């Protein structure tokens, strides 16, 4: 089994038509993302492609569209997530969190060559992960209260070596938790931020509809499928491309500028 490429990123605390042009960006760690505008200067700009209506149908972000249009490749890896309820804050229950983890896993499964499953409660710290087969733990970590995240704070953090950490003082009820867990599971399976696409669940700048539904969209599924191809050799026909942007720092500034104008 190939080891996952490193991805460790934090989801910003929340601030109060699918794009058709997509770009492929590769960072210094070899992590690929698909987004709707040019790659950041520090990332390798690889290819660009035009997302057609046929491709749209094959990776539709809503449940029925994805179920009808996407056929999972053979050999898709199974990645297990567990939940550690220690330090769970008031406002959410263990049953709610377990249900949200299952729902988030199901959403990624609908349009990506991966099988995310929930394995139940596992108390204690997660070991350093080396392979997907080791499993990942979703847990609460008060240290995230001190994470700057470009001045936005961090509601959660996800990585291919560390699993998912949640900020007990940065999540405001089950709906917010759904958004954060779906986003962080994306990081654990190898997807970076896609700030230029406001309908991406992997963007700081996601619009209100995306934040409420927490549904992955076509660029999210493309990034997921290419991560599975890169890390596990799962067959996936990459769309025809040209070249690719908004960095975490730029996205954070957009959010801060918007708050200052209120």
> pLDDT (tens digit, 9 = 90+) per residue, 142-151?
999 998 888 8
Confirm whether 1 is domain-assigned. no
Confirm whether 99 is domain-assigned. yes
* Contact in structure between 202 and 183 (CB atoms under 8 Å): yes
Per-residue pLDDT, averaged over 5-26, amounts to 54
| Number of domains present in the structure of the chain | 1
Confirm whether 161 is domain-assigned. yes
What is the span of the domain harbouring residue 52?
A: 8-260
Q: Residue 217 belongs to a domain with what CATH number? A: 3.40.390.10
Per-residue pLDDT, averaged over 156-167, amounts to 90
Confirm whether 210 is domain-assigned. yes
> pLDDT (tens digit, 9 = 90+) per residue, 83-128?
999 999 988 999 999 999 999 999 999 999 999 999 999 876 655 5
> pLDDT (tens digit, 9 = 90+) per residue, 29-56?
666 666 655 677 666 655 554 443 344 4
Confirm whether 3 is domain-assigned. no
> CA of 229: how far to CAs of 113, 124, 207, in Å?
9, 32, 29
CA atoms within 13 A on the CB side of 28: 2
Rounded to whole angstroms, how far apart are CA atoms 160 and 174? 24
């Amino acid at each position: 089994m190939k080891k996952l490429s490193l991805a460790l990123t934090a989801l910003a605390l929340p601030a109060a038509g699918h794009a058709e042009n997509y770009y492929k960006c590769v960072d210094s760690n070899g992590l690929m993302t698909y987004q709707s505008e040019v790659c950041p200067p520090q990332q390798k700009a690889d290819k660009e492609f035009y997302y057609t209506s046929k491709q749209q149908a094959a990776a539709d972000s809503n449940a029925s569209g994805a179920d009808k249009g996407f056929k999972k490749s053979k050999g898709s890896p199974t990645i297990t997530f567990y939940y550690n309820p220690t330090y769970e804050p008031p406002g959410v229950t263990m049953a709610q969190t377990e249900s949200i983890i299952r729902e988030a896993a199901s959403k990624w499964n609908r349009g990506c060559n991966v099988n995310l499953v929930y394995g139940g409660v596992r108390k204690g710290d997660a070991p350093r992960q080396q392979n997907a087969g080791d499993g990942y733990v979703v847990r609460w970590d008060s240290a995230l209260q001190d994470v700057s995240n470009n001045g936005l704070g961090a509601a959660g953090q996800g990585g291919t070596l560390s699993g998912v950490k949640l900020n007990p003082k940065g999540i405001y009820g089950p709906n917010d938790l759904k958004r954060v867990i779906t986003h962080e599971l994306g990081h654990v399976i190898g997807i970076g931020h896609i700030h230029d696409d406001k309908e991406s669940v992997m963007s700081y700048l996601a619009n209100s509809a995306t934040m409420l539904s927490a549904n992955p969209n076509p660029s999210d599924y493309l990034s997921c499928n290419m991560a599975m191809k890169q890390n596990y050799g799962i067959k996936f026909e990459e769309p025809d491309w040209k070249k690719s942007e908004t960095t975490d720092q730029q996205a954070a500034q957009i959010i801060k500028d918007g708050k200052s104008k209120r």
